[in-house]
Structure formats: C-alpha cells, structure tokens
C-alpha cells in the first residue's frame, strides 16, 4: 500500500491544487485611468462661440417663423370673411 511514489503523488496533488487556486483567484491589474477632461485650443473656442451665435440666430428665426404661422392661422380662423 505504501509505495515510494505516494509522497510524490501527494506533492503533485498539492501543487496542482495550489495552481488551480491561484489561477482561479487571479487579480486583474487596475484599469487604466481615463481622463474626461477636454482640452481646447483657441480654434475650438472660436468655433464653439460661432456655433453658439448660429444656434441663437436659428432659434430666433424659428421663433419668428412660428409666430408668423400662428398669426396667419388666427387671422384665417377668427377674422370675419368678406
């Protein structure tokens, strides 16, 4: 029953058991730090200010167009027909 290979078998069993434990509990390295800061240069800042101007102009024109549309609708619906 007791052979010369029994201690080697136990040693091999324990080594494989430890390796399986270590591989199951591998800690992944910390993820790289991501920076969400946006660095702008002067060209981008100029573009952003121009875009704001364009957006403001578009909103104003849209509001004027809607006002004209509602004015025409009110005139068509509520003014007396001749």
Every domain of the chain and the residues it spans: 37-82
pTM over 0.75: no
Closest C-alpha to 73, from 46, 5, 2, 65: 65
pLDDT for the residue 43 = 63
Chain-centroid distance of CA 39 in Å reads 18
CA–CA gap between residue 8 and residue 62 (Å, rounded): 86
Distances in Å between the Cα of 35 and the Cα atoms of 32, 38, 39, 42 are: 10, 8, 11, 21
Per-residue pLDDT of the chain (82 residues; tens, 9 = 90+): 568 888 899 999 999 999 999 988 888 777 777 777 766 566 666 667 888 889 999 999 999 999 999 999 888 888 766 5
Instruction: State the number of CA atoms in the 13 A half-sphere of 9 facing the CB.
Output: 5
pLDDT for the residue 17 = 94
């Amino acid at each position: 029953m007791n052979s010369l290979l029994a201690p080697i078998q136990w040693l091999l069993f324990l080594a494989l058991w430890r390796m399986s434990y270590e591989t199951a509990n591998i800690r992944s390295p910390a993820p790289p730090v991501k920076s969400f800061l946006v660095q702008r240069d002067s060209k981008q800042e100029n573009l952003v200010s121009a875009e704001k101007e364009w957006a403001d102009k578009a909103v104003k024109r849209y509001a004027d167009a809607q006002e004209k549309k509602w004015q025409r609708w009110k005139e068509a619906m509520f003014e007396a027909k001749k």
